[in-house]
Amino acid sequence: MKIAVFGLGYVGSTTAGCLASQGHHIVGIDVSESKVLDFQAGIPPVLEPGLDELLAAARDKGLLQGSTVVDGLLDDADVALVCVGTPSAIDGSHNLSHIAEVTRQIAVGVRRNRSNRLTVAYRSTIRPGTIDGLIAPIFRSILGENFGDLIELVYNPEFLRESSAIADFFNPPKIVIGTVDGLPSPAMDRMHEGIQAQTFHVGYRESELTKFVDNSWHAVKIAFANEIGRICQQLDISAAKVHEIFVSDTKLNISAYYTRPGGAFGGSCLPKDVRALQHISSDVGANTHLLDAVLRTNEAHKHYQFDNIVRNLAPGAKVLLLGLAFKANTDDLRESPNVDMARRLITAGFDVSIYDSGLDATKLIGQNLGYAYSQLPKIGELLIDKDEAEAGEFDLVVAANGLQRGLTLRSSNVVDVSTIP
């Protein structure tokens, strides 16, 4: 394939070198003449281990070409990869001026009588909606409403870490291909031949958000690890040994558990242990701001979910809450977000009924009993049985912990707050 790479920084140079090593003819385009001259000579414009060997080998095979302008270089290209920078603007957003300018250059430089579409794939990190709201309109303004006959727009985020970028290119954690209809792109599939990784074919916006989610999660992990490290140091505990124990648990700690968007956390362990660790941190002067925010963001999530489900609900509407315990098939109500949901619904004036197959108000004891009645003094009057739940006519059914499965409900207005699809 002939592949044009726009932007010869870390991502562009590494991507170009790796693709050239697979036999693709690479055209590197950058506004910096010095970068272009180095690239053509097989000299990496950036420092990345192993890149000098890849580019030197590609130069010897005649697979590298460089330019500061498009100037007809796209006429026989199969793919154009946009790898230009998106630095922070003053307000914290991404500065997309380079994206807009390169898009304009490609639109102007594409030949109108191409026999096949040019696949233009963006690898730079861009805000969700950028393809639809910025990039596509630029192509449309220059090439007309039918620009899709000449251009296939793709978003293909990169997952390259500096200093290990070549290994990451050939062994990525995943491949994400965003297209207008969420279907595969033949050109991108061809470009990724020989690379084994789980591939996701999705729409533009899902693919655009992916890099933000990944990088923010990595930042959270680092900040969390450092906060725990500060606590350990203040208490003369081995942070390295605590970390060794923590990462050994791949069933829960390093896994997909607890990272699926859905309901707020609750129960007898998480809230109290977070509070206790916050107190320990404050007591020893560790200043753990991330930990301090955990309970606040959990409360914010409860507010958000409540506001979201009652937004269009008429005053006094009949509401059925399925599940009061924080987990199905238990009777543990301690700090259950579902108890909080019930309390909010009642306080707002809605006619609330609750069904929970694992709950008998007469059998609540100890702290469980105290918490339940402190939050819902009339809990015994709110609970209904399965027959009443299935036969009743409700304006809204709030599914809180999976109990809707196995029920035959008359109401079709069911909102599952245990998951965010």
Quick check: 404 pLDDT over 90?
Answer: no
Return the DSSP state at 161: P
Quick check: 260 pLDDT over 90?
Answer: no
pLDDT score for 107: 98
Contact, 99 vs 122, CB < 8 A? yes
83 catalytically annotated: no
Quick check: 40 pLDDT over 90?
Answer: yes
From 18, 83, 232, 269, the catalytic residue: 269
Mean pLDDT to the nearest integer, 46-70: 96
Confidence of residue 190 (pLDDT cuts 50, 70, 90): very high
Give residues with Cβ within 8 angstroms of 157, minimum separation 6: 123, 125, 176, 207, 208, 210, 211
Mean pLDDT to the nearest integer, 243-266: 92
pLDDT score for 268: 79
| Two structure tokens written together for 210 | 């992916």
Confidence of residue 196 (pLDDT cuts 50, 70, 90): very high
Percent of the chain at pLDDT > 90 equals 81
Mean pLDDT to the nearest integer, 318-344: 90
Percent of the chain at pLDDT > 70 equals 100
pLDDT score for 228: 96
Mean pLDDT to the nearest integer, 157-165: 93
pLDDT score for 401: 81
Mean pLDDT to the nearest integer, 391-399: 95
pLDDT score for 269: 86
pLDDT score for 48: 93
Mean pLDDT to the nearest integer, 109-116: 92
pLDDT score for 175: 98
How many other β-carbons are positioned within 10 Å of the β-carbon of residue 274?
16
| Order of strands, sheet of 64-67, starting from the edge strand that comes earlier in the sequence | 64-67, 25-29, 2-6, 79-82, 118-122, 151-155, 175-179, 199-203
- Rounded to whole angstroms, the Cα distance separating 75 from 110 reads 6
Per-residue pLDDT reduced to its tens digit, 18-28: 999 999 999 99
Mean pLDDT to the nearest integer, 356-360: 87
pLDDT score for 69: 96
3-state DSSP call for residue 200?
A: strand
pLDDT score for 104: 98
Quick check: 248 pLDDT over 90?
Answer: yes
- Rounded to whole angstroms, the Cα distance separating 200 from 205 reads 13
pLDDT score for 352: 96
Strands 396-399 and 318-322, by their bridges, are parallel
User: Model pTM greater than 0.75?
Assistant: yes
pLDDT score for 368: 78
**Which structural domains are found in the chain, ordered by start?**
2-206 (3.40.50.720), 260-421 (3.40.50.720)
Backbone angles phi, psi at 154, to 5 degrees: -135, 145
pLDDT score for 159: 94
The residue with tokens 């912990």 is 401
The top-scoring range by mean pLDDT among 41-50, 175-184, 267-276 is 175-184
